[in-house]
Structure 1
């Protein structure tokens, strides 16, 4: 009997599992860019707990195990900055990243009035870029940070949800 993955709001007690998963997931990014000092690999548990209290954080669970997560904050102008979308390597390429992203977007639009979404990824992160494009994001800016790294900003408008009352 298989279990299904559920998506819910992260709780404070999820912080340690999220941090361990983040460390695992960002190893490939660090290797890709030759930089193991990137913030997701150096973030402290305390800093993550602050993020849990200051923005919207979702987790994907397989039973009790946190197997995915995504975070966002919405500014006063309705721009949602989405970051640290992670999925356990054994569950990647099965649609979980898109499910997390779509769930987060819907909640931010409905509950916090997000009108636009923005995320940033490295120029060599082809899998990330493909996922974001499939989810409707388009590149809006590229910034060369160093000889080895350019950051690509991708954005999309929030989709107005049409609700039909049933009679």
Structure 2
């Protein structure tokens, strides 16, 4: 019998596993954009621990192993910024990214009264863009960051998130 993946709040003890998973998951993004100096690959353990203290961070666990994670914060106007949605490559394409996204949306709405959700994706990150659209996000703007990278901003209202989570 296989183990089930559970989603819960991250603890400081999860920091090393999250950082290692983040490094693994962002290798593909670095390759796509030809930039191995991206922040997810250079973040330190101390920086991640500080982020754990000030953000909502969830992890997906398979037994004791962290196989996914996502982070979020809510600003003064109620916009929840969702970042660093990562899933171990061997666990991808099984719905875990969507589950993590729905879980952080729910948590940010409960804890911080988020009224809308916002996330960013690189224009060549087709898998991410497809997942976000499937989860109800729509592109609202694109910003050229470097010659080879445009960041797409996607948003959806919290009401839609609540409806999708209950479906």
Name the residue aligned to 2:88.
Answer: 88
Name the CA distance, whole Å, in 1 between partners of 2:73 and 2:49. 14
Name the residue aligned to 2:148.
Answer: 148
Superposition deviation, residue 147 in structure 1: 1.3
The aligned length equals 162
Q: Does 2:8 match 1:21? A: no
SS in 1 for 2:155: strand
Superposition deviation, residue 46 in structure 1: 0.2
Name the residue aligned to 1:127.
Answer: 127
Name the CA distance, whole Å, in 2 between partners of 1:104 and 1:84. 11
| TM-score, with length taken from structure 1 | 0.95
| TM-score, with length taken from structure 2 | 0.95
Larger radius of gyration: 1
Q: Where does 1:52-91 land on structure 2 (aligned, <5 Å)? A: 52-91=52-91
Q: Where does 1:89-108 land on structure 2 (aligned, <5 Å)? A: 89-108=89-108
Q: Which has a greater percent of helix?
A: 2
Name the residue aligned to 1:32.
Answer: 32
RMSD over equivalenced CA pairs, Å: 1.0
1:66-95 Cα shifts (integer Å, max 9, x gaps): 000000010111100000000000000100
Superposition deviation, residue 145 in structure 1: 1.1
Name the residue aligned to 1:114.
Answer: 114
Runs of 4+ aligned structure 1 residues displaced above 6 Å come to: none
Runs of 5+ consecutive residues of structure 1 not aligned to the other structure = 163-167
SS in 1 for 2:159: coil
Runs of 5+ consecutive residues of structure 2 not aligned to the other structure = none
Q: Does 2:137 match 1:137? A: yes
